[in-house]
Amino acid sequence: MSRQARALINLDAIRANYRLARAQSPQSRAIAIVKANAYGHGAAAVARALAPEVEAFGVACIEEAIELREAGIEQPVLLLEGVFEAQELVQCIALNFWTALHSEFQIDQIAALPENAALTVWLKMDSGMHRLGIAPNNYRAAYDRLTALPQVKEVVLMSHFACADELDNDTTVRQIEAFRKAAADIEAPVSLSNSPATLGWPEAHQDILRPGLMLYGASPYVCDNAESVRLQPAMSLLSEVIAVREIEADESVGYAATWTAEKTSRIGTVAMGYGDGYPRHARNGTPVLVDGHRTCIAGRVSMDMITIDLTDLPNAGVGSTVEFFGESLSVNEVAGYADTIPYTLMTCLTGRIPRIYSGE
Ligand SMILES: Cc1ncc(COP(=O)(O)O)c(C=O)c1O
């Protein structure tokens, strides 16, 4: 590897974060969400690291589930977005995938399968997010239709929260209430909690947790709570300084000349850019660490390079290590400077960034 842009992935941190999820609700089970290439961390490597202690994994779609099987993962895999065409149900049966069911027409698709299908279905309720799921008024009827089918072995009840990351937002309370009311007399396992609900809404824990983001050590909140501070960052996005120059006051740096020196300044150029997935809209002043010392971006992020202010770091130079986020610089803090969330910073890293694992 000559270009030093890379992501170090700490699999021990991911294991510790999974255990932290479990510890929030020891009586619950917890499936590990590894969709979108395990939020950029590498689905196969993450699933292999968690396999000895995780009962099942969650992904968005069947292609992601097949990738896990090809990586040797034997646990059931839940398709959170369900199947996109009826034919995929045949693969669910053959490969032991569980499917979310979000619309009534999908019950007919299951009814058309061979009777010995033995399918596990996660029946999704739209308890207020209005994205996917059966309306509360129709939920009981959908459950009854499903459980009457010989093709169905088990039904899990699920819903998803719109605002669980805001701990003072009573939308979550209303969603829990809507779910409880509509599922009141159904005897089946219940799964409601994503990361923010796992770490901050104990009343939502129920039978099966579905943590995603927290496994990777990023906080699901803008302001941490007592549990989220215990998360261990799993990904460090690193590169190094490849060139240094001095510029005079009033000279500017980079495309569109968005940063202008107020005094004589040292500018470092780092091998990292939006072609690697670092956000182009990270603004001037976005923090970075150079050999552990804090400084910031100076000039617009370009495709392959980022310029940073080294004026106050006289010992930094070509070859200095730059951390863009990770173990020593919070991905949540950096996300704020790019008007985004930690989910996108990690998920959008491109294939050009080698993932280097520790804790295998
Ligand atoms: C249905 C469902 N469950 C669980 C998760 C995991 O959420 P988080 O990454 O916030 O833990 C997601 C992620 O979007 C989801 O769509």
The two beta strands, 29-30 and 32-33, are unpaired
The radius of gyration computed from the CA coordinates of the chain, to the nearest angstrom, equals 23
Verify whether ligand 1 is closer than 6 Å to residue 210 (CB atom). yes
pLDDT at 215: 98
Residue 195: CB within 6 Å of ligand 1?
yes
> Would you say 151 and 114 are in contact if contact means Cβ atoms under 8 Å apart?
yes
Q: CATH topology of 11-218 equal to that of 235-358? A: no
* Domain range annotation of the chain: 11-218, 235-358
Whole-number Cα distances in Å, 277 to 38, 84, 87, 189, 309: 15, 28, 34, 39, 21
For 155, the token pair is 């039904």
Which CATH number among 3.30.300.20, 3.40.50.300, 1.10.10.10, 2.40.37.10 corresponds to the domain 235-358?
2.40.37.10
**pLDDT at residue number 11:** 98
Residue 160: CB within 6 Å of ligand 1? yes
Beta-carbon contacts of residue 160 (< 8 Å; ≥ 6 apart)? 124, 127, 129, 131, 132, 133, 192, 194
**267 close to 248: Cβ distance less than 8 angstroms:** no
pTM for the complete prediction?
A: 0.97
- Is residue 331 within 8 Å of residue 325, measured between CB atoms? yes
User: Residue of the nearest CA to atom 6 in ligand 1?
Assistant: 212
User: Would the CB of 80 count as within 6 Å of ligand 1?
Assistant: yes
| Residue 60 CA, closest ligand 1 atom number | 16
Ligand 1 atom nearest to 158, measured from its CA: 1
Contact (Cβ atoms closer than 8 angstroms) between residue 126 and residue 156? no
SS3 335: helix
Measured CA to CA, the distance from residue 347 to residue 278 in angstroms comes to: 10
CB contact at 8 A, 34 and 57:
yes
Q: Which residues are catalytic?
A: 35, 255
- Mutating to test ligand 1, I would choose from 37, 39, 80 the residue with most ligand atoms within 8 A of its C-beta, which is 80
pLDDT at 34: 99
- Rounded-to-integer distance, Cα 275 and Cα 247, Å: 26
Q: Which atom of ligand 1 is nearest to the CA of 35?
A: 13
Sign (positive/negative) of CA torsion 339, 44, 154, 81?
A: positive
| CATH number of the domain located at residue range(s) 11-218 in this protein | 3.20.20.10
Stretches where the chain sits below pLDDT 50 are: none
Tokens of 48: 């292999």
User: Which DSSP helix (H) or strand (E) runs through 83?
Assistant: none
